[in-house]
Every structure is written in C-alpha cells, then in structure tokens.
C-alpha cells in the first residue's frame, strides 16, 4: 500500500532514490532502424535528452512551478508508457508518449504529473504546410478524462534547410560580463525556417486544442542530420502553459508512484539545476 504524505497536494516518498546518470553515461538503447526512419520514439528521446531544449519546453508548460523549484529537484521522464500499466483495462490512448513526474529531494510531486501526446512534423522548405495526420487533441483529451493533473501536446519538428537566398537578417547579442551586461553585434543572415515552422505548427494547435491542454512546438533539426546532433544549436520552443485538470485521479497517481518506485531505471532524471 502506498502512503501519501498529503492529499492534496499528492506526494510520495521514494524508499530508494536511484542515482542520476552522469554526463557520458548511456540513457536509452533503441533499434538503429528507428533512428534511420526518424521514428516518433527516436524523436521523443532526442527531445528529452537535449536537456536545454527540454528544460525550455518544461518551463513553458509549468512556468510558475519551474521558477520556484528548490535545490535537489527535477523531473523523472519516461517515453512510451503503456496506458494499461497505470489504468488496468484502459486501451485509449494505447501509450502515454511522454510521462513527466517532478520530484523534490526524495519526494515525487504527483499533483504536478504531466502526460504529453507527441506528434512528429516532417516538413521541408518546399512543403512548409506539412502537418501530422492529427494534432493529438483526441488523445490528449482522453488523458485528461483518465485523471492526469496536467496534459499537453508537443509537436516535434524536423525539416531540411532553406536555400541561402531565402535567409533573413537576425539580430545578435553577446554577453560580456557575469552580471548579464550585453552588447549588440552586427546583424547576420540566418535560416528562419525553424521559427516559421514552429509558428505555423503552434498556431494550428492553438486553433484546435482547448485551453487546459498545454502546447509545445519544438524544432529538433534538419532532416539531413542525425536526430541527436546538436551542432545546429537550439531554437526556443513555442509553448502554452498546461492548466490543472478539473478532476485528478488519486488512484492513477498512486499507480504512477508505484511505477516509479518499481522501475526508476525506466525514467530519465532531468535535474532542475546543474549538479554541483
């Protein structure tokens, strides 16, 4: 029997806190075929292991909570969680594409759990209007009805690059001191296709997803690069904060706690602050 520290908010103290992975340690193993075909799971893993991009996205989904997270806090993240592991008998959606469970020290902050529906947008300069077959609203709504406190949709975008003649000017600023002092540098020409694709995808989600559902439009990179190559830098994702659901399912959250307790090795630990 799981014992919660307070209801609400719902918290659970782990009996055995797993050691976070260190830089250079393997996090996930997936078939090479998934990488070559840019499978949704491969794109999802690319998203959560790019800690800067993921952190910016989580900040956008939970801005109030993120800004007040204490030291020794973070989130435990697991992709592709079969829904039946948490809700016996449930069949739709078949998987939770991304399950995020915050922690503070050894306590899981269950009332801040987020279930995210992932969609991959494979666009190109020639076909910038490319969109997924569906926007994920039906699946996200089903996750709400199951009782997750927060639900979101994330569109992860890959594309080719624009021809050089389509590049546009961008402002450039350089930080020149530890106090944040900056100086303006001359404008540079850059490829704005990632920003254009995120704006288009985000606008479509806004038009179809009801307000309680959080939104993320994030750019992973060009099609001709490996999904895990971050040499092209990080574009700030576009986000809408997820709002708490009307009814959280305490039995569901107890199942989330039991899953983390039982299989912490299935989760990636993304700390809020750089380890000392």
The per-residue pLDDT for range 75-90, each reduced to its tens digit, is 999 999 999 999 988 8
User: Do the Cβ atoms of 272 and 76 come closer than 8 Å?
Assistant: no
Banded pLDDT at 207 (limits 50, 70, 90): very high
Distant-in-sequence, close-in-space partners of 150: CB < 8 Å, separation ≥ 6: 61, 62, 112, 113, 114, 115, 214, 242, 243, 244, 245
Banded pLDDT at 5 (limits 50, 70, 90): very low
Q: 221 φ, ψ to 5°?
A: 150, 180
Task: Report pLDDT for 4.
Answer: 41
| Whether the predicted pLDDT of 7 surpasses 60 | no
Q: Give the chain's end-to-end CA distance (angstroms, integer).
A: 35
| Whether the predicted pLDDT of 115 surpasses 90 | yes
Taking each helix axis as running N to C, give the angle between helix 40-49 and helix 51-61, from 0 to 180 degrees, rounded to the nearest 10: 90
**Which residue is it, tokens 């912490």?**
264
Task: Report pLDDT for 48.
Answer: 93
d(CA 96, CA 80): 5
- Nearest CA to 261 out of 7, 6, 12 is that of 12
| Whether the predicted pLDDT of 226 surpasses 60 | no
**Sign, CA torsion 226/80/96/14:** negative
Banded pLDDT at 151 (limits 50, 70, 90): very high
pLDDT per residue as tens digits for the range 12-46: 999 888 777 777 777 777 777 776 666 788 889 98
């Amino acid at each position: 029997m799981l014992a919660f520290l307070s209801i609400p908010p719902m918290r659970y103290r782990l009996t055995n806190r797993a050691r976070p992975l260190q830089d250079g340690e393997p996090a996930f193993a997936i078939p090479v075929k998934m990488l070559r075909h840019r499978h949704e799971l491969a794109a999802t893993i690319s998203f959560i292991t790019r800690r800067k991009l993921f952190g910016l996205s989580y900040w956008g989904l939970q801005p109030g909570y993120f800004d007040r997270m204490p030291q020794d806090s973070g989130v435990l993240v697991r992709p592709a969680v079969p829904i039946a592991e948490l809700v016996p008998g449930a069949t739709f959606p078949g998987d939770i594409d991304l399950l995020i469970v915050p922690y503070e020290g050894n306590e899981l902050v269950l009332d801040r759990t987020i279930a995210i529906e992932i969609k991959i947008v494979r666009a190109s300069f020639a076909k910038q209007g490319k969109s997924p077959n569906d926007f994920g609203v039906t699946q996200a709504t089903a996750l709400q009805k199951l009782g997750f406190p927060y639900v979101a949709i994330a569109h992860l975008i890959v594309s080719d690059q624009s021809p050089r003649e389509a590049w546009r000017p961008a402002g450039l600023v350089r930080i020149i001191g530890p106090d944040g002092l900056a100086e303006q540098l001359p404008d540079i020409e850059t490829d704005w296709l990632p920003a254009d694709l995120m704006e288009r995808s985000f606008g479509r989600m806004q038009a179809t997803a009801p307000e309680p559902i959080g939104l993320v439009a994030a750019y992973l990179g060009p099609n001709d690069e490996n999904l895990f190559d971050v040499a092209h830098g990080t574009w700030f994702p576009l986000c809408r904060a997820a709002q708490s659901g009307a009814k959280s399912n305490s039995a569901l959250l107890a199942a989330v706690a039991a899953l983390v307790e039982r299989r912490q090795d299935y989760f990636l630990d993304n700390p809020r602050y750089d380890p000392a």
